[in-house]
Structure 1
Amino acid sequence: MRLNQATDYAFRMVLYLASLPEGTKITGAALAEKQNIPERFLLKIMRSLTKAGIMKSYRGVEGGFALQRAPKDITLFDIIDAVEGQTELQRCLHDIGSCSRGCSGMCSIYAAFADIQRDLAARLKSIDFETLAKQEANLRMVHEAEAQLTAKKEAAEK
């Protein structure tokens, strides 16, 4: 299974907004610049996220975008579902009639992929953007501390 570029951008957009104070609005242009996403593509993705109730769109001079739900209530699964639609590892999981063998879901491959699909969906639903934003902040702090330490070492060597 490969997620498309739009989904990756959607993850980044939601993660960025989840790291800001609740209710923060940001223009599409500013978000595109901050996340290095082509603005036209960002706006297309935003339509999907808005339709799914993940983002809220504000029109007008002071318009922009904000999260419609709390980051703790938005999961990786929600983003994938909003941008890619219902995804299946095997097409027969969605349409039993698509099996060219004609077994109507009565085979070991179907059973194996049904279990994997169920486990994958459960795992994706268990990872929320509040948690991811906290992890991102911690990673940023570690990176900054390492950069400061490196700078001190380099200064001491001079």
Structure 2
Amino acid sequence: MRLNQATDYAFRMVLYLASLPEGTKITGAALAEKQNIPERFLLKIMRSLTAANIMKSYRGVEGGFALQRAPKDITLFDIIEAVEGQTELQRCLHDVGSCSKGCSGMCSIYAAFAGIQRNLAKQLKSYNFEDLANQEKAIKNAEEAAKAAAAPDEDKAKAE
């Protein structure tokens, strides 16, 4: 299973907005620039996120985009479903009649994939964007602290 590029961009857009103060609006152009996403592609993805009530779209001069829900209420699963649509690992998980063997979901392969699908959905729903934004801030703070700690050593080396 591989998620498409639009989903990756959607993760980045929602994560960025989740890191801003609640209710912050940003234009599509600014968001595209900050996240290095082609603007036309970003606007297409935003339509999916808006339709799924993840993003809110504002028109006009003061327009832009903002999160419709609190970051704690948006999960990785929500983004995948909004952008990719309903996803199943195996066709028969969605439509037992699609089985070419004709077993209508009564086989060991179906049972195995049904369990995997449940576990995958549960895992994806366990990651929300409030937690992810906090983790992202912690990573950036650690990087900055490491750079600051290395800077005096670099200054000493230059002086010698």
Unaligned runs of 5+ residues in structure 1 are none
Structure 1 match to 2:48: 48
Residue 22 of structure 2: aligned partner:
22
Residue in structure 2 matched with residue 127 of structure 1 by the alignment: 127
Matched, 1:5 2:17: no
Q: How does 1:116-155 map to 2 (within 5 A)?
A: 116-155=116-155
* TM alignment of 1:34-45, pairs within 5 A: 34-45=34-45
Shift in Å, 1:154: 1.2
In the alignment, the residues of structure 2 paired with residue 7 and residue 30 of structure 1 have an alpha-carbon distance, to the nearest angstrom, of: 19
AA partner of residue 31 (structure 2): L
Which aligned runs of 4 or more in structure 1 are off by greater than 3 angstroms?
Answer: none
TM-score scaled by length of structure 1: 0.98
Q: TM-score, normalised by structure 2?
A: 0.97
The residue that corresponds to 1:99 in the other structure is 99
1:77 is aligned to 77
| Cα-to-partner distance string for 1:68-90 (whole Å, 9 max, x where unaligned) | 00000000000000000000111
Q: Secondary structure at the match of 2:101?
A: coil
Letter aligned with residue 30 of structure 2: A
Please name the residue that 2:67 is paired with. 67
What secondary structure does 2:56 align onto? Answer: strand
In 2, distance between residues paired with 1:152 and 1:75?
41
1:56 is paired with a residue of what secondary structure? strand
Summarize deviations over 1:91-115 as a string: whole Å, max 9, x none. Answer: 1101111111111111111100000
Over the aligned positions, Cα root-mean-square deviation in angstroms equals 0.6
Find the residue that maps to 1:57 and give its secondary structure: strand
Letter in 1 for 2:69: R
Q: Which amino acid aligns with 1:79?
A: I
Deviations 1:115-148 (A, max 9, x none): 0000000111111000000000000000111112
Alpha-carbon distance, 1:152 to partner: 2.0
Instruction: Tell me the distance in 1 between the aligned counterparts of 2:58 and 2:130.
Output: 23
